[in-house]
Structure 1
Amino acid sequence: MAVTKEILDEIALSRAEYDMIVDRLDREPNPVELGMFGALWSEHCGYKHSRPLLGMLPSRSARTLSQAGAENAGAIDIGNGLAVVFKVESHNHPSAVEPLQGAATGVGGIVRDILAMGARPIALLNSLRFGPPDSAANRRLLKGVVDGIGWYGNCIGVPDVAGEIYFDECYSQNPLVNAMCVGIARIEDLASAAADRTGDVLLLAGAGTGRDGIHGASGLASRTFEEEQELRPTVQVGNPFLEKSLIEACLEALATGRVRALQDLGAAGLTSAAVESAARGGRGIALDISQVHRRESGMTGYEVMLSESQERMLLAAAPEHVPAIREVFDKWDIACRPVGAVTEEPYALITDGAEPIASTPVSHLSDAPRYRLTGRQSAEAIDRQRLRLRDIPVPSDAGAALLHLLASPNIASRQSVYRQYDHQVQTNTVVGPGAGDAAVLRIKDTGQAIAVAIDGNGRHCFLDPYRGGQMVVAEVTRNLSCVGAEPLALTDCLNFGNPERPEVYYQLEQSIRGMARACRALGVPVVSGNVSLYNESQGTAIFPTPIVGGLGLLTDVKQHCGAGFPGAGLAVVLLGADQLTARASDLAGSEYLSAVHGLVKGRPRIDLDLERRVQGFCRSLIAGALAKSAHDCSDGGLAVALAECCIIGDNRIGGTGPVGFRASDEFANGVPSRWDAALFGEAPSRIVVTLEPEYVPSVLQSAEAAGVPALTMGTTGGSRLTLGSPMDLPVDKLAGAWHGGLNTALQ
């Protein structure tokens, strides 16, 4: 008898997909098989609508050690026989339902992805989006998510070193919680998830299996929200103390050389872990779920196979090595039990003791259907791109506008959030949150350092997804360059609405096209990532929000820059522009346009060749010890960038604190009459750097030779930010607005 629509809706399969399953099996699937298909064919696991597009992204370079999608995370050779492993992933829908556990288990899951590569996790980052903080519901979500991130990360001893938070009405019922983890391993110690040796034993290690998280991948992460659905049981429950022990046990087991494959149990639980490991290895699996250790009684085979209980790993090892591996886990007081074997025949055979409960070719399960749709830009989207400066009134007070922007929840200091995270544990953090445009972490015993950053801008992609996709790649690589790191590779999490709607599919396709173009122009591959679709409720989608995490390398950890002005008497130079301009495109999607005028309009633009030259020149200044600080112009434009440089100031231990800035007469006189577009416009490819005054002539000459426009703006020092007639404010007043903005909004 054919299944009902209600059952198919519960596992997010269409009737056509069910018919496809019947056709592949040449029979009706039983309930366990149907649940496994639903999970593995879900958008979250199967990438049905996105996989045909993801191939546009470049994924290889001379430093890549893994093909994107082939393993749990991307691996990059950083020299000295070391690899950095990193990935970003979403936990949006679980965090909307149960913010603390949703965010906490998002951290736990991304950490296990890094662990599955044989790497020790050394850093966490996060990218968060919420509705406006004047709503009690949004404040509750923010508090729960921040509590969950801090609780889990602090307990497992992995520092949270960088991140971002933005607010907009479109995220009110669909918060975005994207977690990124970075790990390090010796190249020869990298692990694989491919179970490719017939006869190997499959070992399930970690927490007992419970009923939490069932239908998490299919029912929660692969469909839109409906008010009447009670989804709380689909949210996983985390135990960070167990995860810490699991990390150490897995790394010790790997060090024995006896573990052949390692895979974490995340979305779709044992189903996904076992089937994907077998598929990667071109083999089959025979599982006996009666051997799965559980924390709840009376669980059915369906529940065991689809549970997303956290803190679990699947290992493959030769039979003769099983006792030694179990001894390692016993030492760490971690349950580790044989639950099956790798088979020659590429079949997934699942039994409960002697009773068969599922039998299907692995390829049927792992090869989800792929949909290549036709996107369409809506008439409303085209209309949103029309923006004329003459239609935007100029505020009467530039200083008041700057204070308003600095206090905006989208620009104000995030210190009240990141101070809840331990960002110094493991003692590798050189530049932490709030001090620079990217975090810098030393690589012990090498003299090197890595830089990591995470960025996104949904408004830009909402207005022009193609150019917005380019701009997010440019932004994250620019932030890496601002601390002196050469960008090596990226990871992405693509957060979009329902791809079955033509306007959303258009956003998805064009954003990926734009990202791909920028990646090629800037020489960075995308080596790992995640897609989170169906982020909408009541027919309203979020802004298209691709989040990009970046990895960069500093050959000398000592040659790095922070964002703040490090002292008085330094020349301040703007790279990327030789004059201030006032263009409508600069205001497109800007925080100024939104916060001051209540508009999200315009069409942003970017010159990728200029971006490449500016970033390279900035890195050369830092490597040559010429640049004393570097901070990019992004949210809030040039005026906000200068204010932040003043407020952050010399934040070293024993430093002088905030540092003022006085514009030169030439610069102040060059501010256009449309000072709002010139000072608050968010044109990309611009970096504020400080230099010793005697180096300015030679630096300007070198910039011209490198094809990099540059503009001398003024000098650091004093206690005020002075831009001539448009703006003259005490730095402590700016700091009060910036430091207090988020807390005020949350109250």
Structure 2
Amino acid sequence: MSLSETDHELVIAELGREPTPAEVALFENLWSEHCAYRSSRPLLSAFDGEGEQVIVGPGDDAAVLALPDADAADTPPAERDADDYGDQYVTFGVESHNHPSFVDPFDGAATGVGGIVRDTMSMGAYPIALLDSLYFGGFDREGSRYLFEGVVEGISHYGNCIGVPTVGGSVAFHGGYEGNPLVNVACVGVTNEERLVTATAREPGNRLLLVGNATGRDGLGGASFASEDLAEDAETEDRPAVQVGDPYAEKRLIECNEALVDEDLVLSARDLGAAGLGGASSELVAKGGLGARIELDRVHQREPNMNALEILLAESQERMCYEVAPENVERVRELADRFDLGCSDIGEVTDGNYVCTFAADESADREIVVDADAEFLADGAPMNDLAADAPTDPDRDHPEPALEDAFEAVVSDPNTASKRWVYRQYDHEVGTRTAMKPGDDAAIIAMRETSESGESVDGGTTGGSAADLGAADPEGVGLALSSGANPRWTSVAPYDGSRAVALENATNLAAKGAVPLAAVDCLNGGNPEKPGVYGGFKAIVDGLADGCRALDTPVVGGNVSLYNDSVEGPIPPTPTLALLGTRAGYDAPPAELDPDAAADSELLLVGHPSDGLGGSAYLAAAGGSDRFPSLPDAPGATVSSLAAVARHDATLATHDVSDGGLAVALAELVSEEAGADVALPDHVAAFEETPGRLVVQTTDPDAVAEIADDLPVFRLGDVTTDGTLSLAVGDESLAVDADAIRELRGVIDRELA
């Protein structure tokens, strides 16, 4: 590891001397793109992160949001005031573990889950839900399937072992990820004002404690590894930079963290992730404008003869750094011992520099290996001023294959196909909060109240009983969750495609009757030093920021992952958005037609259509190109109206129109008991993917039209009881029964069974 020449000169000017080897390594990691956001931070001011609901916004380990009371949960945040929010908080954060998941898909993905869960814990919150958004090369490639299987196995193993349900997410396949998959994981936690902790050190004299697993040599240089292109031999040469997780230790750490917070022992906290102990402890004291004095040899270690640099930078998992009052150190030790975790008193908070010392053994002299200003370490990296080439618009040229051929190709596309193989491996019901399971447009988590003492009614671990869900608690708040991005959209039109990603995730929430509360993003791009790549990245930042602003949804945190280039080339610009929303109650309409009401109901399309096929599964199958669909002028009002339609008593089923267009939405609504008879004017109407639209089964079309307000409402056709999708498009028609649709949509299940 080494600093660039210009960074080296800056460090010398600050220190007034040559840096030590440990300082060089620490600066190299903390000033890396992964930690310092040197190429992206100048762009991130485009996001709005404020609102009455925002308790802690961008800059901490996770955002903290106040939940509205049940009687205000259906009201858009822009129409609420401070009195509409209760004393229950949720935390929300997202992380990437992209490079590690290429080198070692199982451990790379597993430790990504562990990291975002600890970000949640460091805010004094108990983790209650995970979402994962995954991106791989072409599904027909053996290497892509190997990575896909390993990543899903890693996520399921870690999440299932720690008892946190994975309730939603997304999976996309695109040739641009062939040599560099993306693994983006979001986590939601629950806390309240009394239990809230931040990563800002309080005052000099407090002790710094390291609690959790012992420190080993795994993960050394992980931050710098994540800030460079993947080399052809990365799978072997970079394996030491990948951490190895222990989910059972993480589970004990979760429960220990709860006990520490219960007893008000934690003054500030930071989990050990990128740059290990050096990153966590220096950032903790820097946020408080303070310093620290740390004795590295006091860290409990897993391997013998570790040197100062290894202890400082190892990214061994399942570790937390806590600021604790001196009189509470022994109690923290007792609790750590109760949960069979290591605990080291490694130093103290000071009002001076960030200083680390090391003695190889009891007889050796103690040497100073780091002595630098903490704020300079954590925030002193200069920002990059990079050239950006604006993306170009595609030509309009698309063929029209036969309807049957187009339908079969689009419905069996791995991007639109069923992801049942993925989510069936996740325990999505542990904790008994999951009211709407994976496989629908959005997950819904039941949020129960906290007691007057501030303790969770759940008790942290079990989450109460199943009887607490659904209609049993009609006054409760349902937390709706959606995450993902569409690389086909953002490849064709980075700016408009990113706006569409925001609207698509919001439409997922609206389909279940929820309105957005806040968002976090994971912005993934290639090598920013290439003007074309940086231009595309800048466009997705601006597009996502404008899209969320138009939805009146603050972006309260996020992650940036650049240098996602390999010998295969750069990835598509990928703006994963994780969106959280609320609704009163947990009982939402399903994305499946109701056969019992077939004779008394109609099938409607609510929302503005478009005539653009750019970025669609249809063009991916048929070839050609087209402009990206135009988006609604007022997306916030669109989402509010769609959510109101979904909540209406006459609404029996809802499903958003997205990947694959109406053809796929209709295919997904059909079951063995319920079919649909639908007529559409042309192929564009059947396959264009404009977000902000819902297919609705209702017994009261007039009420839907009234609630929809300015949104157009189209009658699609009838619901039947023959389990067949009968689709007429222009002069062509086809009839496909539920079994045939299941066969088409089961391509992932069949290949990986």
TM-score (norm 1): 0.91
Aligned to 1:685: 692
Q: Is the 8 A contact 2:399 2:622 kept in 1?
A: no
In the alignment, the residues of structure 2 paired with residue 370 and residue 409 of structure 1 have an alpha-carbon distance, to the nearest angstrom, of: 39
Which residue identity does 2:372 align to in structure 1?
T
Counterpart mapping for 1:409-488 below 5 A: 409-434=414-439, 436-445=440-449, 447-488=476-517
SS in structure 1 of the partner of residue 254 of structure 2: helix
* Aligned partner of 1:188 among 176, 190, 194: 194
Aligned to 1:572: 603
SS in structure 2 of the partner of residue 727 of structure 1: strand
In the alignment, the residues of structure 1 paired with residue 94 and residue 737 of structure 2 have an alpha-carbon distance, to the nearest angstrom, of: 36
Aligned to 1:561: 589
Q: Is the 8 A contact 1:521 1:608 kept in 2?
A: no
Aligned to 1:41: 31
- Could you tell me how far 1:348 is from its partner in structure 2? 3.4
In the alignment, the residues of structure 2 paired with residue 140 and residue 432 of structure 1 have an alpha-carbon distance, to the nearest angstrom, of: 26
In the alignment, the residues of structure 2 paired with residue 67 and residue 610 of structure 1 have an alpha-carbon distance, to the nearest angstrom, of: 26
Q: Is the 8 A contact 1:174 1:535 kept in 2?
A: yes
* Aligned partner of 1:508 among 522, 530, 537: 537
* Aligned partner of 1:720 among 711, 718, 724: 724
Q: Is the 8 A contact 1:134 1:745 kept in 2?
A: no
Q: Is the 8 A contact 2:113 2:185 kept in 1?
A: yes
In the alignment, the residues of structure 2 paired with residue 106 and residue 473 of structure 1 have an alpha-carbon distance, to the nearest angstrom, of: 24
In the alignment, the residues of structure 2 paired with residue 523 and residue 412 of structure 1 have an alpha-carbon distance, to the nearest angstrom, of: 32
In the alignment, the residues of structure 2 paired with residue 294 and residue 349 of structure 1 have an alpha-carbon distance, to the nearest angstrom, of: 17
- Could you tell me how far 1:25 is from its partner in structure 2? 1.7
Q: Which runs of 5+ in 1 are unaligned?
A: 1-6, 648-656
* Bigger mean CA offset, 451-460 vs 487-496: 451-460
| Alpha-carbon displacement from aligned partner over 1:435-476 (angstroms, at most 9, x marks no partner) | x21000111246111011102012212222111121111111
Aligned to 2:645: 621
In the alignment, the residues of structure 1 paired with residue 513 and residue 353 of structure 2 have an alpha-carbon distance, to the nearest angstrom, of: 49
SS in structure 1 of the partner of residue 344 of structure 2: strand
Distance 1:289 1:157, change over 3 A: same
Aligned to 1:4: none
Counterpart mapping for 1:286-325 below 5 A: 286-325=293-332
Which residue identity does 2:323 align to in structure 1?
A
* Aligned partner of 2:58 among 65, 68, 72: 68
* Aligned partner of 2:404 among 399, 404, 407: 399
Q: Is the 8 A contact 1:349 1:360 kept in 2?
A: no
Aligned to 2:40: 50
Q: Is the 8 A contact 1:110 1:181 kept in 2?
A: yes
- Could you tell me how far 1:188 is from its partner in structure 2? 2.3
Aligned to 2:384: 371
* Bigger mean CA offset, 348-357 vs 32-41: 348-357
- Could you tell me how far 1:247 is from its partner in structure 2? 0.4
Aligned to 1:233: 240
In the alignment, the residues of structure 2 paired with residue 119 and residue 51 of structure 1 have an alpha-carbon distance, to the nearest angstrom, of: 27
Q: Is the 8 A contact 1:662 1:721 kept in 2?
A: yes
In the alignment, the residues of structure 1 paired with residue 631 and residue 742 of structure 2 have an alpha-carbon distance, to the nearest angstrom, of: 35
Distance 1:702 1:104, change over 3 A: closer
Aligned to 2:470: none
SS in structure 2 of the partner of residue 65 of structure 1: strand
- Could you tell me how far 1:520 is from its partner in structure 2? 1.4
SS in structure 2 of the partner of residue 723 of structure 1: strand
In the alignment, the residues of structure 2 paired with residue 456 and residue 187 of structure 1 have an alpha-carbon distance, to the nearest angstrom, of: 33
Which residue identity does 1:444 align to in structure 2?
R
- Could you tell me how far 1:112 is from its partner in structure 2? 0.4
- Could you tell me how far 1:539 is from its partner in structure 2? 6.8
| Alpha-carbon displacement from aligned partner over 1:641-684 (angstroms, at most 9, x marks no partner) | 1111114xxxxxxxxx5520012xxxx2xx33xx2222011122
Aligned to 2:635: 611
In the alignment, the residues of structure 1 paired with residue 431 and residue 492 of structure 2 have an alpha-carbon distance, to the nearest angstrom, of: 41
SS in structure 1 of the partner of residue 334 of structure 2: helix
In the alignment, the residues of structure 2 paired with residue 66 and residue 608 of structure 1 have an alpha-carbon distance, to the nearest angstrom, of: 31
SS in structure 1 of the partner of residue 376 of structure 2: helix
TM-score (norm 2): 0.90
Identity within the alignment, %:
40
Aligned to 2:291: 284
* Bigger mean CA offset, 532-541 vs 194-203: 532-541
Which residue identity does 2:636 align to in structure 1?
R
Q: Which runs of 5+ in 2 are unaligned?
A: 69-85, 360-364, 450-474
In the alignment, the residues of structure 2 paired with residue 228 and residue 557 of structure 1 have an alpha-carbon distance, to the nearest angstrom, of: 49
Which residue identity does 1:251 align to in structure 2?
E
Q: Is the 8 A contact 1:662 1:714 kept in 2?
A: yes
SS in structure 1 of the partner of residue 54 of structure 2: coil
In the alignment, the residues of structure 1 paired with residue 632 and residue 194 of structure 2 have an alpha-carbon distance, to the nearest angstrom, of: 37
Aligned to 2:472: none
Aligned to 2:80: none
In the alignment, the residues of structure 2 paired with residue 520 and residue 345 of structure 1 have an alpha-carbon distance, to the nearest angstrom, of: 41
SS in structure 1 of the partner of residue 56 of structure 2: coil
In the alignment, the residues of structure 2 paired with residue 491 and residue 154 of structure 1 have an alpha-carbon distance, to the nearest angstrom, of: 24
In the alignment, the residues of structure 1 paired with residue 18 and residue 594 of structure 2 have an alpha-carbon distance, to the nearest angstrom, of: 69
* Aligned partner of 1:251 among 252, 258, 265: 258
In the alignment, the residues of structure 1 paired with residue 63 and residue 626 of structure 2 have an alpha-carbon distance, to the nearest angstrom, of: 36
In the alignment, the residues of structure 1 paired with residue 35 and residue 693 of structure 2 have an alpha-carbon distance, to the nearest angstrom, of: 39
Counterpart mapping for 1:728-739 below 5 A: 728-739=734-745
Counterpart mapping for 1:82-231 below 5 A: 82-218=88-224, 220-229=225-234, 230-231=237-238
User: In the alignment, is residue 707 of structure 1 matched against residue 736 of structure 2?
Assistant: no
* Bigger mean CA offset, 51-60 vs 567-576: 567-576
User: In the alignment, is residue 260 of structure 1 matched against residue 282 of structure 2?
Assistant: no
SS in structure 2 of the partner of residue 546 of structure 1: strand
* Bigger mean CA offset, 267-276 vs 359-368: 359-368
SS in structure 1 of the partner of residue 421 of structure 2: helix
* Bigger mean CA offset, 92-101 vs 722-731: 722-731
Aligned to 1:645: 669
Aligned to 1:650: none
SS in structure 1 of the partner of residue 112 of structure 2: helix
- Could you tell me how far 1:608 is from its partner in structure 2? 4.2
In the alignment, the residues of structure 2 paired with residue 741 and residue 406 of structure 1 have an alpha-carbon distance, to the nearest angstrom, of: 10
Counterpart mapping for 1:338-357 below 5 A: 338-352=345-359, 354-357=366-369
Distance 1:515 1:608, change over 3 A: farther
Q: Is the 8 A contact 2:32 2:223 kept in 1?
A: yes
Q: Is the 8 A contact 1:43 1:49 kept in 2?
A: yes
Q: Is the 8 A contact 2:172 2:487 kept in 1?
A: no
In the alignment, the residues of structure 2 paired with residue 343 and residue 22 of structure 1 have an alpha-carbon distance, to the nearest angstrom, of: 23
Q: Is the 8 A contact 1:239 1:311 kept in 2?
A: yes
Counterpart mapping for 1:581-596 below 5 A: 583=611, 585=612, 587-596=613-622
Which residue identity does 1:174 align to in structure 2?
N
* Aligned partner of 1:490 among 499, 502, 519: 519
- Could you tell me how far 1:514 is from its partner in structure 2? 1.2
Which residue identity does 1:615 align to in structure 2?
V
Aligned to 1:386: 395
Please provide the CA RMSD for this pair: 1.7
* Bigger mean CA offset, 49-58 vs 622-631: 622-631
In the alignment, the residues of structure 1 paired with residue 629 and residue 24 of structure 2 have an alpha-carbon distance, to the nearest angstrom, of: 47
In the alignment, the residues of structure 1 paired with residue 58 and residue 357 of structure 2 have an alpha-carbon distance, to the nearest angstrom, of: 29
SS in structure 2 of the partner of residue 342 of structure 1: strand
In the alignment, the residues of structure 2 paired with residue 728 and residue 323 of structure 1 have an alpha-carbon distance, to the nearest angstrom, of: 73
| Alpha-carbon displacement from aligned partner over 1:342-376 (angstroms, at most 9, x marks no partner) | 00124334444722111111122112211232311
